[in-house]
Structure 1
Amino acid sequence: MADLFEPASGNPDPHSSAHRPLADRLRPQSLAQVIGQDQVLGPEAPLGVMLGSGSLSSLIFWGPPGVGKTTIARLLADETDLHFVQISAIFTGVPDLKKVFEAARLRRQTGQGTLLFVDEIHRFNKAQQDSFLPHMEDGTILLVGATTENPSFELNAALLSRSQVLVLERLALADLERLAQRAEKDLDRALPLDGPAREALLEMADGDGRALLNLIEQVAAWRVEGKLTVEALSQRLMKRAAKYDKSGEEHYNLISALHKSVRGSDPDAALYWFARMLEGGEDPRFLARRITRMAVEDIGLADPQAQSLCLQAWETYERLGSPEGELALAQAVAYLALAPKSNAVYVAYKAARASARKSGSEPPPKHILNAPTKMMKDQGFGAGYAYDHDAEDGFSGQNYFPETMQRENFYLPVERGFERELKKRLDYFAKLRRQRGS
């Protein structure tokens, strides 16, 4: 795997290394050569502190592809004089694990420890993950796992309790530029790109160092005169799609970002996340459904027309399709972000559900039950019911809760948007109810 680094001292022989991929030639030879990941490798960062104190513990590297997980693990083994063993959860079964553990045990008897690097560790099932535990506890192995998935969801609690999770981040443009400069030094020539085209190439890598080196290798192989523009570069390279798993964690991360941006009344951020999801290939119908949910949950009755506008945008999309219909959804996103916010009905609904579960099967009070038969009338069904339209102010103030329950106040409108008016109405009816002693 390719990683970010400062170049090792000395220039490689171009004849002996010409057949090796650029990413392989530029592997760092020490942790000091790694570019980026200062939040993990810095002197006061977790790995810096561990190495400084000589107390390296088992680790889980969580991060996207091409940011250095494998190489950092290999360099950790070098710096701690541990034997480095690498396996992939995709290709390794229980018999293979037993052989790895036995070899580590024999190696330990000779006085050398083992750093076992497990790529894609989240692909092991619970039983396989549990098999690491005794060998971690007795010091047979020091485990370093790598995963692109959230460890909280994919790794069992016992394994997590014995490891420290370190988050490796996608590479910033400044880091990618440093990597590009190291590649140019290795190639002994500058890339044939003008300034905007060079920036576009870095953006195409999408924070993935390995991807950048592969792109650079393609560009360096071209025979061109002068420097390529963005347009010329785009014609020669197919832009890499942004990393986005429509069924995985990234899907939920981005819809959460969109929802919270709308709730936070930030239309610019909301439109950005909306666009990110569309660019990643998200189904606009999923977005239409979730946008409508936002109108109900976070705007509510503070702006009653927000829900209608979302449904109209959804219908517009169904009629126009992509890409024209996506503009209607974008309009709904911007409207929701700027609408007054209230979750009062959402909170009231959850409270009412909780109360309904608690009260069980309590019947309605008899005076609001229908009495279609003589027997039901004799039982008092419907007796004393007051028809509100005949009451003063069109409000009888009678009780509608079960007779065994105290009256509850679930809905508490906020002083924003249209709910200001609804609060006035609620206060008005509460006042009438008190006056009539109901």
Structure 2
Amino acid sequence: MADLFSDDTKPAAATTAHRPLADRLRPQTLGQVIGQQQVLGEDAPLGVMLASGSLSSLVFWGPPGVGKTTIARLLANETDLHFVQISAIFSGVPELRKVFEAARLRATNGQGTLLFVDEIHRFNKAQQDSFLPHMEDGTILLVGATTENPSFELNAAVLSRAQVLVLTRLDVGDLEKLAARAEAELERRLPLTVQARASLFEMADGDGRTLLNLIEQITAWKVSGDLDTEALTKRLMRRAAKYDKSGEEHYNLISALHKSVRGSDPDAALYWYSRMLEGGEDPRYLARRLLRMAVEDIALADPQAQTICLHAWETFERLGSPEGELALAQAVIYLALAPKSNAGYVAYKAARETARKSGSEPPPMHILNAPTKLMSEQGFGAGYAYDHDAEDGFSGQDYFPDTMKRPQFYQPVARGFERDLGKRVEYFAKLRAKRQEE
């Protein structure tokens, strides 16, 4: 991978111009790596491990093109370990046995092995378990790479024996350094305006390898003068945003949308809503999640929010795409600007918890029906006060089990319509106390 490079060090092999630019710019030492200082810095995990001479098994978690393979290879160089690379996509049990056996022979000759496993999350549980004895006896030092959340994809036994390091997308500053490094290697500047250069970095979307591939395309063009953004985008296809409708990015973006709505930020909410649509998300899934937000985070503070969401969903079903997405977008805006309350949600959870703990306590006798003479003789329904006949239409009777102290689950917030509901709760509480005194 050629994604992270120093902008002042030129690889010795750069003279072979026929090699892909990404390969020609591959770092030769960790000191040449651009970015990822959160793992490579002097006080960062890898910096500390290397300084102490004690490197443990690792799992690199991050998006494509941020340096996982490169850093693994350079770690082997820095620690004098034999580097072996396999991919979980193309390897099975027979290949793993050969790798382990070769590593064991190397170990008997005093040579350690750094085994780099790309896409390690694609190995099944049994295959992942096969690494454990070889990690424990020191036959291999495992460095895995994954674009998926290790918490969900890797065995707990593997995770307990390896440190997870998070590698992040390259920022604009990193991409600029990488572009400058490429220009120095090619001995020519990119024929782009300032704005087009910024657009190029957007197209790379934090992926250094993608940036170098795009630069290689641009430098092959025969152009006179600098290309502006419009000319650049006509010649290059914008890279599709990283989005997996069933993977980690799906859950990251729906979480961002939900929290933006909860945080009353319509602009951020619309952005994440649009990001999901651009990634190919099913609008019906978004409609369902918007309805959930209305129920969970707005609720009785604005009862109309649920109706807005249901109507937007129905409008989408009738109009279809792309017009129907506008109705959902308007629901996003409404939800973001609506007053927020989770009082109903909290009350519901508290009531469910109390119901679980209270077992099979029966209702009080006075609110039980007595459809037979025997039940009436047993006292079913005796003493029940019909609220419509009571003063103010409120009897103030206790409807909880006789053995239960009256709890208060619902505590409305002083926002939106729930402010009025809070006044009603307070009114009935005072009236209930008055009836009990009478």
What TM-score do the two structures reach when normalised by structure 2?
A: 0.94
Q: Is the 8 Å Cα contact of residues 4 and 68 (structure 1) preserved in structure 2?
A: yes
Give SS of 1:118's match: strand
Deviations 1:344-364 (A, max 9, x none): 110111111122223334333
Q: Which residue of 2 aligns with 1:5?
A: 5
- Partners of 2:291 and 2:310 within 8 A in 1: yes
2: distance between equivalents of 1:217 and 1:17? 11
Aligned to 1:323: 322
- Pairwise CA distance, 1:78: 0.5
1:21 Cα deviation from its structure 2 partner? 1.5
Name the SS of the counterpart of 1:328 in structure 2: helix
CA-based RMSD: 1.9
Deviating more after overlay: 248-257 vs 97-106: 97-106
1:258-407, aligned counterparts within 5 Å?
A: 258-407=257-406
Say whether residues 1:50 and 2:49 are aligned partners: yes
Which amino acid is 1:277 matched to?
Answer: M
Q: How does 1:156-195 map to 2 (within 5 A)?
A: 156-195=155-194
Partners of 1:410 and 1:9 in 2: CA distance: 68
Deviation at 1:278, TM superposition (A): 1.4
How far apart in 1 are the matches of 2:381 and 2:286?
47
Q: Deviations over 1:324-363 (max 9, x none)?
A: 3323322222222222221111011111112222333433
Q: Is the contact made by 1:4 and 1:209 (CA closer than 8 Å) also made in structure 2? A: yes
**Structure 1 stretch 60-69 or stretch 169-178: which is displaced more?**
169-178
TM-superposition CA deviations, 1:44-75 (whole Å, max 9, x none): 11111111111111111000000000010000
Q: CA deviation at 1:388?
A: 1.0
Is the Cα contact below 8 Å between 2:11 and 2:24 reproduced in 1?
Answer: no
Task: Give SS of 1:32's match.
Answer: helix
Q: Provide the aligned length of Structure 1 versus Structure 2.
A: 436
Q: Is the 8 A contact 1:11 1:186 kept in 2?
A: no
- Matched residue SS, 2:48: helix
Q: Which stretch of structure 1 is more off in the superposition, 210-219 or 356-365?
A: 356-365
Provide the secondary structure at the position in 1 that maps to 2:436: coil
Deviation at 1:13, TM superposition (A): 6.2
Counterpart residue type for residue 17 of structure 1: A
Is 1:39 the counterpart of 2:29 in the alignment? no
Deviation at 1:102, TM superposition (A): 1.6
Give the whole-Å Cα distance in 2 for the aligned partners of 1:236 and 1:269: 31
- State the Cα distance separating 1:369 from its structure 2 match: 3.0
The CA deviation at 1:166 is 0.7
Deviates more, 1:291-300 or 1:400-409: 400-409
Q: Which residue of 2 aligns with 1:105?
A: 104
| Residue 10 of structure 1, CA deviation | 6.1
Counterparts of 1:44 and 1:99, CA distance in 2 = 37
Partner SS for 2:323 = coil
How far apart are the structure 2 equivalents of 1:2 and 1:412?
A: 57
Change (3 A) 1:75 1:62: same
Tell me the alpha carbon deviations over residues 88-110 of structure 1, each in whole angstroms, 9 at most, x when there is no partner: 11222222222211211111111
Q: Which moved more, 1:412-421 or 1:158-167?
A: 412-421
**Corresponding residue of 2:117:** 118
d(CA) in 2 for partners of 1:73 and 1:309?
A: 52
Cα distance between partner residues in 2 of 1:390 and 1:197 = 78
Q: Report the equivalent of 1:90.
A: 89
Q: Who is 1:80 aligned against?
A: 79
Give the Cα–Cα distance (whole angstroms) in 2 for the partners of residues 210 and 334 of structure 1. Answer: 37
The offset of 1:82, in angstroms, is: 0.6
Q: Is the 8 A contact 1:266 1:337 kept in 2?
A: yes
Residue identity opposite 1:341 in structure 2? K
Determine helix, strand or coil for the equivalent of 1:86. Answer: strand
Displacement after TM superposition at 1:141 (Å): 1.1
Identify the range of structure 1 (190-199 vs 75-84) with the bigger mean alpha-carbon deviation: 190-199
TM-score, scaled relative to structure 1:
0.94
Amino acid corresponding to residue 10 of structure 2 in structure 1: S
Aligned partners of 2:316 and 2:363: how far apart in 1?
Answer: 44
Which whole-Å CA distance do the structure 1 matches of 2:266 and 2:399 have between them?
42
The 2-side partners of 1:350 and 1:245 are apart by 32
Find the aligned partners of 2:267 and 2:48 in 1 and give their Cα distance: 40
**Cα 1:4–1:371 shift into 2, 3 Å:** same
1:155 is matched with 154
Superposed, which structure 2 residues align to 1:205-224 within 5 Å?
A: 205-224=204-223
The one-letter code sitting in structure 2 at the alignment partner of 1:3 is: D
Checking the alignment, whether the CA contact within 8 Å between 1:306 and 1:335 is kept in structure 2 is: yes
Structural mapping, 1:56-75, within 5 Å: 56-75=55-74
Asked whether the 8 Å contact 2:11–2:25 carries over to 1, the reply is no
1:61 is paired with a residue whose SS is strand
Q: CA deviation at 1:36?
A: 0.9
CA distance in 2, matches of 1:293, 1:13: 56
Looking at structure 2, the residues matched to 9 and 415 of structure 1 have their Cα atoms a distance apart, in angstroms, of: 64
Question: Are the counterparts in 2 of residues 26 and 183 from structure 1 also a CA contact under 8 Å?
Answer: yes
Runs of 4+ in 1 over 4 A off after TM superposition: 10-14
- How has the CA–CA distance of structure 1 residues 141 and 261 changed in structure 2, closer, same or farther, with 3 Å as cutoff? same
Matches of 2:35 and 2:221, distance apart in 1? 29
Deviates more, 1:297-306 or 1:321-330: 321-330
Quick one: structure 1 residues 375 and 136, their matched pair in 2 at CA, closer, same or farther if it must change by over 3 Å? same
**Post-superposition offset of 1:12:** 5.0
Q: Secondary structure at the match of 1:437?
A: helix
Q: Which runs of 5+ in 1 are unaligned?
A: none
Are the equivalent residues in 2 in contact too, given 1:367–1:381 (CA < 8 A)?
yes
Report the counterpart of residue 198 of structure 1 in structure 2: 197
Contact 2:88-2:119 at 8 Å conserved across structures: yes
Deviation string, structure 1 residues 359-407 (Cα, Å, up to 9, x no partner): 3343333332333333433333333322211110000112222334332
